[in-house]
Amino acid sequence: MGFLELLEKGAKSRRHSGQSGDGGLGETSSVINISSSAALFKLSMNTLAYPTSKAGINYLSKSMTIEFAVNKIPLRVNCIKPGIFPSKITGTRDELEKIAKEALPGGFRPAPAQRPGRDEELGMAAVFLASSAGGFTNGIVMRVDGRLALVNP
């Protein structure tokens, strides 16, 4: 992995300088992968590649966490799995308001939050994972989905 050397160097330099702020763990550098709730949906979504690639990101994140821990590489790896958020792929906020509130053909249930996610909600999840507040958090797939995955197992 091309970025591994850079992240490891940053983590080690902070640990040796006493600036890590993590109690000496040295796990200051962080990788945050972005997946999607689509990785677990049982609906076809008219595409095979998108949910497959997102499921791969979930597994990659877990594998990286284990690999780094076993090899004592001081990097944290976490993954954020957004639900319905406006984007070029999913549509505008107005389009997603309907999807968030109504069931779709094939058994897709609406999000309990009854709305799409907001940019700041996704951003603050990333800030937490990247900051010292998330310094003890490693190897998770964080759902930021308005409980969408809970009603669409």
Catalytic center residues: 35, 50, 54
Strand partners, 104: 108
CA proximity to 107, closest of 44, 36, 35: 44
Strand partners, 143: 81
| Burial tier of 25 (Cβ tally within 10 Å: 0-12, 13-18, 19+) | middle
